[in-house]
Amino acid sequence: MSKPVVKLLLTLLLLCTIPSFLFALTGEDVIRRMDEMATFDTSVSTGSIKTTDRFGTKISTFKAWARGTSDSLIEFTSTAERGQKILRTQSSLYLFYPDAEELIRLQGAALRQSVLGSDLSYEDMTEEKNTLDSYTVVLEGSETVNGHDCHVLTLTAKKRTVAYPVQKIWVDKQTYLVWKAEYSTAQKRLLKVMEVLSTVETEGRTLPSETKIEDKMKRDSATWMTLDSLEVNVPLAANLFSLENLTW
């Protein structure tokens, strides 16, 4: 037997004796993969937001564009909110109200403000896909959520400019979809719970198509966000995610 063959066999034997935990994913590995699976070069989608509370039920519709990890634009298309826009780019978020021709910038805790009176916040709708820039991660273990084997992770904010100081998330071990999330203050007071109710497959990835959000600071209130259509990796105008385009 030649020396190269003997060397190869010894190497394979050594690899077989290395404990499997040395190859286990870290919390950071899970988060990177989670962000990667939720990010496309570009995307265009339409959807609706339905909120039920003590005042009744309200439905709003929107169209959204996204590019990479941080650029997103949402324009509401329902009659009452038509023309209202949300722009997130370069870690800044702007609101535009066409009737008043008013442009507002939000940051930090203001990102937790409600969108159109729903249980959704501006952070929920425009969350950037660069989680490790803002959070440290601890992999807590595994749990099953609605029949899906999930990693359980706790994320703690590195800086005060994030909307949620603490997040606990359940990430599917196969698809890296976040099936459930709990958002809390730094003092561990529960602010909000998110749960994915149904999914859609595109480009070999699993994405949420219906999500339920409950703001724990409100009584008898819940919001469902539904994805009606989605196109990915499509051409977008170069100036789409600019302040000039926002106010046009």
Tens digits of pLDDT across the chain (248 residues): 555 554 555 555 544 544 434 457 899 999 999 999 999 999 999 999 999 999 999 999 999 999 999 899 999 999 999 999 999 987 789 999 988 778 899 887 788 899 999 999 998 988 888 999 999 999 999 999 999 999 999 999 998 888 899 999 999 999 999 999 999 999 999 999 999 999 999 999 999 999 999 999 998 999 999 999 999 999 999 999 998 888 77
Tell me, what's the pLDDT at 1?
58
Tell me, what's the pLDDT at 2?
58
CA distances 82 to 74, 98, 113, 167, 173, Å, are 11, 9, 20, 33, 39
pTM: 0.86
Tell me, what's the pLDDT at 109?
76
Tell me, what's the pLDDT at 6?
47
Q: Which DSSP letter does residue 220 get? A: S
Alpha-carbon dihedral angle through residues 31, 71, 181, 205, given to the nearest 10 degrees: -60
CB atoms within 10 A of CB 112: 19
CB 150 within 8 A of CB 206: no
In DSSP notation, 120-163 reads -BHHHHH--S-GGGTEEEEEEEEEEETTEEEEEEEEEESSTTSS
Tell me, what's the pLDDT at 23?
54
In DSSP notation, 24-69 reads PPPHHHHHHHHHHHT--SEEEEEEEEEEEETTEEEEEEEEEEEETT
Chain-centre distance for alpha carbon 48 = 17
